[in-house]
Amino acid sequence: MELFPRPRTEIAPGAVHVPEWLSPEWQRRLVEACREWARPPAGLRSARLPSGGRMSVRTVCLGWHWYPYRYSRTVDDGDGSPVKPLPGWLAELGARAVAETLPDEPPFDPDVALVNFYDAHARMGMHQDRDELSRSPVVSLSLGDECVFRFGNTENRAQPYTDVPLRSGDLFVFGGPSRMAYHGVPRTLPGSADPGLGMSGGRLNITLRESGMS
Ligand SMILES: O=C(O)CCC(=O)C(=O)O
Ligand SMILES: [Fe+2]
pLDDT at 133: 98
Q: Which domains does the chain have, with CATH numbers?
A: 9-209 (2.60.120.590)
Element (H, E) at 29: helix 24-37
Which mutation among 187, 205, 208, 209 tests ligand 1's pocket best, with the greatest number of atoms within 8 A of CB? 205
92 vs 134: CA distance, rounded Å: 18
Mean pLDDT of 95-117: 98
Q: Tens digit of pLDDT for each residue in 162-178? A: 999 999 999 999 999 99
pLDDT at 4: 83
Mean pLDDT of 25-47: 97
Residues of the binding site for Fe cation: 127, 129, 183
DSSP annotation of 169: T
Q: Ligand 1, closest atom to CA 184?
A: 7
171 vs 149: CA distance, rounded Å: 12
Phi and psi at 102, nearest 5°, equal -125, 75
Q: Ligand 1, closest atom to CA 207?
A: 9
Which residue's alpha carbon is nearest to atom 7 within ligand 1? 184
**Cα 177 to Cα 14, 96, 106, 150, 173, distances in angstroms:** 6, 20, 15, 17, 12
CB-ligand 1 contact for 116 (6 Å cutoff): yes
Please report which confidence band the pLDDT of residue 1 belongs to, taking 50, 70 and 90 as the band edges. Answer: low
DSSP annotation of 146: -
Q: Tens digit of pLDDT for each residue in 115-158? A: 999 999 999 999 999 999 999 999 999 999 999 999 999 999 99
Helix (H, G, I), strand (E, B) or coil at 162: strand
SS3 annotation, 37-95: HCCCCCCCECCECCCCCECCCEEEEECCEEECCEEECECCCCCCCECECCCHHHHHHHH
CB-ligand 1 contact for 209 (6 Å cutoff): no
